[in-house]
C-alpha cells in the first residue's frame, strides 16, 4: 500500500516542478541559457542552505547535523556526475534532433527508475504498478508527439538518430539520479543533501561559464536583465527549491519509480494547463485523451 503522506509529498513536488517549469519557460526568453542555469543552481544551493540553517537553529534537531559516512561522498559525486552529464547530453540531443523527435524519449524515465530502483535499492513494484509505469511512458510519449506535431523544429536535425539516442541516455541518467540520491538523503536528510548537491552542481556550472566566457554576456548587461526579471527569478528559485526538497523527501517515503511516475504524469498535465492559460498555447482535444491515459496509469501506480 502506497504511503498517503508519500503520495501527498510527491504530488506537491509535481506542482512545484510545474511552477518551476512555467517560470523557467518565461526566463529563457530573457536570459542566456548558461547564466540562467548558474543563477538557478547557485540560488537553489543558497536557499536550501538557509532553510537547513534555520531548521537547525530553530528545531535543534540532531538529525539535521548527522555524521556522514565516507560512502556518502562517493554517492554525492555520482549523482552530481549524473546530473551534469545529463544536462550536456540534453543540449546535444536538441541540437542534433528535432524537438518532436527528442523530447518523447524522456517518457522512458519512469521505466528506467523502476529498473534502477529494483537493481540498486531492491525496490519492488507489483505487476499492476509496472502496467501503470508503461501507461505513463506511453501517455507521455503520445502527448509529446501530439503536442509537437505541428510545431516547427528548433534544431538542424543533422543527426536525428544520434540525438534521439542522447535523449534516451538523458532519460536513463535522470532516472538513476534520484536512485542514487535516495541513500544520500537517508544519510544526510533532504535539506543537507540538497544543499551539498546543488552547491556541487552550481560550482560545475560556474566552471562551465568560465570556460565559455566568450559566449556569456558582460556582467553589467547581464545584471540589468536579472534586475528586470527579479520577480520571475524569485518565483523560479522558490519553486525549484521546494521541488528539490520535496522530491528528496518523497523518495524516502515511496519507491523512486512511483515518485518519477507521479512527477511525469502530473508535470505534463501542469505544463499543458500552464501553456494554455499562461502562455496562450493552443491545445487539441486528442491531447486531453492522452492526459486521461496518464491519469489512469497514475492511478495504477498509486493503488496497484
Q: What's residue 31's pLDDT?
A: 75
Of residues 107 and 149, more confidence is placed in 107
Q: What is the mean pLDDT of residues 149-169?
A: 67
Domain containing 79 equals 4-303
Nearest-angstrom CA–CA distance, 153 and 40:
27
Q: What is the mean pLDDT of residues 290-302?
A: 84
Q: Which three cell numbers stand for residue 9?
A: 509529498
Q: Is the pLDDT of residue 219 over 70?
A: no
Would you place residue 198 in the very low, low, confident or very high pLDDT band (cuts 50, 70, 90)? very high
Q: What's residue 185's pLDDT?
A: 94
Q: What is the mean pLDDT of residues 281-295?
A: 77
Cβ-contact 217, 32 below 8 angstroms: yes
Q: What's residue 177's pLDDT?
A: 95
Q: What's residue 294's pLDDT?
A: 82
Tracing cell 570556460 back to the chain, one arrives at: 211
Q: Is the pLDDT of residue 155 over 50?
A: no
Q: Which of 87-91, 253-257, 279-283 has the lowest mean pLDDT?
A: 279-283
- Residue 206: count other Cβ atoms within 10 Å of its Cβ: 15
Q: What's residue 71's pLDDT?
A: 94
User: Percent of the chain scored above 70 by pLDDT?
Assistant: 83
Q: Is the pLDDT of residue 51 over 70?
A: yes
Q: What's residue 166's pLDDT?
A: 87
Would you place residue 1 in the very low, low, confident or very high pLDDT band (cuts 50, 70, 90)? low
Q: What's residue 221's pLDDT?
A: 47
Of residues 59 and 130, more confidence is placed in 130
Of residues 72 and 147, more confidence is placed in 72
Would you place residue 36 in the very low, low, confident or very high pLDDT band (cuts 50, 70, 90)? confident
Would you place residue 156 in the very low, low, confident or very high pLDDT band (cuts 50, 70, 90)? very low
Per-residue burial over 140-156, b = 16 or more CB atoms within 10 Å of its CB, e = otherwise: bbbbbebbbeeeeeebe
What total of structural domains would you count in the chain? 1
pLDDT tens by residue, 85-127: 887 787 778 677 766 667 778 778 888 999 999 999 999 888 9
pLDDT tens by residue, 174-196: 999 999 999 999 999 999 999 99
Amino acid at each position: 500500500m502506497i504511503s498517503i503522506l508519500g503520495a501527498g509529498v510527491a504530488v506537491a513536488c509535481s506542482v512545484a516542478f510545474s511552477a518551476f517549469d512555467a517560470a523557467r519557460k518565461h526566463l529563457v526568453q530573457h536570459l542566456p541559457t548558461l547564466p540562467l542555469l548558474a543563477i538557478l543552481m547557485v540560488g537553489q544551493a543558497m536557499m536550501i542552505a538557509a532553510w537547513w540553517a534555520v531548521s537547525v537553529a530553530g528545531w535543534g534537531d540532531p538529525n539535521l547535523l548527522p555524521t556522514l559516512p565516507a560512502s556518502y561522498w562517493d554517492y554525492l559525486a555520482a549523482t552530481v556526475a549524473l546530473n551534469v552529464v545529463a544536462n550536456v547530453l540534453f543540449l546535444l540531443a536538441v541540437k542534433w534532433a528535432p524537438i518532436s523527435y527528442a523530447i518523447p524519449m524522456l517518457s522512458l524515465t519512469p521505466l528506467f527508475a523502476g529498473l534502477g530502483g529494483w537493481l540498486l535499492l531492491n525496490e519492488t513494484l507489483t505487476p499492476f504498478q509496472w502496467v501503470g509505469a508503461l501507461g505513463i511512458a506511453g501517455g507521455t510519449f503520445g502527448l509529446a508527439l501530439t503536442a509537437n506535431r505541428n510545431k516547427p523544429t528548433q534544431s538542424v536535425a543533422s543527426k536525428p538518430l544520434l540525438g534521439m539516442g542522447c535523449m534516451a541516455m538523458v532519460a536513463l541518467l535522470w532516472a538513476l539520479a534520484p536512485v542514487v540520491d535516495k541513500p544520500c538523503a537517508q544519510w544526510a536528510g533532504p535539506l543537507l543533501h540538497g544543499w551539498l548537491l546543488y552547491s556541487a552542481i552550481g560550482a560545475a556550472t560556474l566552471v562551465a561559464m568560465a570556460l565559455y566566457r566568450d559566449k556569456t554576456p558582460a556582467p553589467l548587461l547581464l545584471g540589468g536583465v536579472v534586475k528586470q526579471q527579479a520577480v520571475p527569478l524569485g518565483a523560479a528559485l522558490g519553486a525549484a527549491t521546494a521541488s528539490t526538497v520535496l522530491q528528496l523527501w518523497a523518495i524516502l517515503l515511496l519507491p523512486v519509480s512511483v515518485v518519477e511516475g507521479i512527477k511525469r504524469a502530473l508535470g505534463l498535465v501542469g505544463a499543458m494547463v500552464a501553456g494554455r492559460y499562461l502562455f496562450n498555447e493552443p491545445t487539441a482535444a486528442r491531447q486531453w485523451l492522452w492526459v486521461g491515459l496518464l491519469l489512469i496509469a497514475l492511478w495504477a501506480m498509486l493503488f496497484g
